[in-house]
């Protein structure tokens, strides 16, 4: 009996998430449908399978400086775009670290994702998460000076966007 109830609850939740996602896509189409690149992004997100692997590049002096309660909302689904774009003040010997996690449909701020990709930052393949979204980072890798991803420096970190 518990299994049937659990399966019904899971099916109902999936239905709500799917309808919310579809509503977000319809809303984005209404708001940005005239943009020349809208169709490209619309089709990409509509076809996207979840959970989707996402990446975030950060500049840190030391991996221990990572603020697990502020991992950030700006991620990408393109590993080639996981780079550090903001160097915090006061850091001289910084290194780039790449966080690797997964996002579900209901953790993405779809309006912001469309807006960011249609406002001149399309090359970033941005996935904008909702603020304070719980994130489980599977791995963090340190980037070598030549740009290659190096060794894993941390695994299974729970934090927030």
pLDDT: which is higher, 139 or 120: 139
What value does the mean pLDDT of the chain take?
A: 79
Question: Side-chain half-sphere of 143: how many Cα atoms within 13 Å?
Answer: 24
Confidence bin at 139 (pLDDT 50/70/90): very high
- Neighbour count for residue 154 (Cβ, 10 Å): 16
How many domains would you assign to the chain? Answer: 1
Ramachandran class of 148: left when φ > 0, alpha when ψ lies in -120 to 50, beta otherwise: beta
Q: Are strands 52-60 and 95-103 parallel, antiparallel or unpaired?
A: antiparallel
Residues 61 and 94: beta-carbon distance below 8 Å: yes
pLDDT of residue 18: 46
Average pLDDT over residues 121-137: 87
3-state secondary structure of 19: helix
The percent of residues above 90 in pLDDT, for the chain, comes to: 28
The predicted pLDDT at position 11 comes to: 40
Please give the residue range of the domain that contains residue 64: 2-160
Preceding omega of 140 cis (within 30 degrees of 0): no
Q: What is the pLDDT of residues 92-113, one digit of tens each?
A: 667 888 999 999 989 999 888 8
| pLDDT of 57 above 50 | yes
Quick: pLDDT tens for 71-96.
999 999 999 888 876 666 666 667 88
Q: What is the dihedral of CA 155, 132, 96, 82, to 10 degrees?
A: 100
- Strand order from edge to edge, sheet including 52-60: 126-128, 74-76, 52-60, 95-103, 134-143, 149-160
């Amino acid at each position: 009996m518990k299994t049937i109830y659990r399966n019904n609850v899971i099916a109902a939740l999936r239905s709500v998430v799917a309808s919310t996602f579809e509503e977000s896509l319809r809303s984005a189409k209404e708001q940005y449908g005239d943009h020349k690149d809208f169709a490209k992004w619309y089709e990409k997100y509509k076809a996207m399978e979840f959970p989707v692997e996402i990446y975030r590049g950060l500049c840190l002096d030391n991996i221990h400086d990572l603020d697990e309660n502020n991992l950030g909302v700006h991620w990408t689904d393109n590993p080639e775009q996981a780079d550090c774009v903001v160097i915090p003040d006061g850091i001289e010997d910084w290194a780039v670290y790449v966080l690797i996690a997964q996002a579900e449909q209901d953790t993405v701020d779809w309006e912001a994702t469309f807006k960011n990709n249609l406002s001149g930052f399309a090359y970033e393949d941005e996935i904008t998460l909702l603020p304070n979204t719980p994130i489980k980072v599977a791995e963090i890798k340190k980037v070598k000076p030549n740009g290659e991803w190096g060794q894993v420096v941390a695994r299974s970190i729970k934090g927030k966007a």
